[in-house]
Amino acid sequence: MLFLAHGMITSTQNPRVKLVRELMSRPKDRRAAESFVAEGVRLLEEAFQSGWSFQFVLVAEDLSARGRKLADELQSRGITVEQVSTGVLNAVSETENSQGILAVLEHQALPIPEPLTFALIPDQVRDPGNLGTLLRTAAAAGVQAVLLPPGTVDAFSPKVVRAGMGAHFRLPVRSMTWDAIRSLCTESQLKVLVADMDGPDYWQSDLQQPLALVIGGEAEGPSAPALALAHGKISIPMPGGSESLNAAVAGAVLMFETVRQRRDRTGR
């Protein structure tokens, strides 16, 4: 049973509720506070199991049994858990119907592994759902780091975090300038390939070597800095005649082709 030290929060003017709203709506507030918001039982279970740092948790009065078990566990670890009215939580939630629990989490920069042999660069991907799906797929495909250049949506916005389904807690995600990305790719001796319809089909490309895949945005494709960084292009054949694929779908195809080629080489 939750220990409610201060009673139930029933006002959207409560300082914690106001902070949640600010973190959800403004990237500059997330950067200043070095914090972000995550919602939902499953997502917060992922954060907890990954050892992520919680600032506080807000739970609704109608929280599910699974959610209450998680909240009790968090509180037993010294994390502040406060109950709010369902109306207040719904007022700040990004989802149509709140799952009854959300948390403010600290931003943690997970270390980029060495040697770095597999990176993803989402270039001008502005749709939060697409970026979140790319992160989720990258984590599943064994990508070691995601490098976010200028022009790509904030990876810690609520919609990206929700679509990422826990990828943020397992995968280094870094916002970087193009110069910093170039330096890291050079130091790691990564071959940079840009997804582009003018490139050779992916089965003609060697994806077994240390690699950074650039996936361009939905509207404009790869940017000039991405093309300047690239050692080459790579394309997905589309005999059906479509002009392009959704960024998240294109990224998934190329990331798992990389997995296939490397598995064929190593047998694992």
pLDDT in tens, the chain (268 residues): 554 556 789 999 999 999 999 999 999 999 999 999 999 999 999 999 999 999 999 999 889 999 999 999 999 999 999 999 999 999 998 877 788 999 999 999 999 999 999 999 999 999 999 999 999 999 999 999 999 999 999 999 999 999 999 999 999 999 999 999 999 999 999 999 999 988 889 989 999 999 999 999 877 779 999 999 999 999 999 888 666 789 999 999 999 999 999 998 776 6
Give dist(CA 154, CA 113) in Å, integer. 22
171 contacts 146 by C-beta, under 8 angstroms:
yes
Residues 6 or more apart whose Cβ sits within 8 Å of residue 164: 132, 133, 135, 136, 139, 155
What pLDDT, on a 0 to 100 scale, did the predictor assign at position 3?
A: 47
How long a stretch of residues is the chain? Answer: 268
Backbone CA torsion sign across 96, 102, 107, 109? negative
pTM of the full structure: 0.93
**Rounded to the nearest 5 degrees, what angle is found at the Cα of 221, between the Cα atoms of 249 and 182?**
100
DSSP-H helix ranges across the chain: 15-25, 27-33, 41-49, 65-76, 86-92, 128-141, 158-164, 178-187, 224-229, 247-266
Which two structure tokens, joined as six digits, stand for 93?
Answer: 């939630």
Number of H helices, E strands in the chain: 10, 10
What pLDDT, on a 0 to 100 scale, did the predictor assign at position 1?
A: 52
What pLDDT, on a 0 to 100 scale, did the predictor assign at position 266?
A: 72
Give dist(CA 103, CA 69) in Å, integer. 15
What pLDDT, on a 0 to 100 scale, did the predictor assign at position 127?
A: 95
What pLDDT, on a 0 to 100 scale, did the predictor assign at position 95?
A: 79
Residue indicated by tokens 């589309």: 238
Domains of the chain in start order, with CATH, are 15-106 (3.30.1330.30), 118-266 (3.40.1280.10)
Give dist(CA 4, CA 170) in Å, integer. 32
| DSSP-derived secondary structure letter, 202 | G
191 contacts 203 by C-beta, under 8 angstroms:
no
What pLDDT, on a 0 to 100 scale, did the predictor assign at position 5?
A: 53
192 contacts 212 by C-beta, under 8 angstroms:
yes
List Cα–Cα distances, 48 to 57, 71, 89, 190, 204, in angstroms.
12, 10, 21, 33, 42
What pLDDT, on a 0 to 100 scale, did the predictor assign at position 94?
A: 81
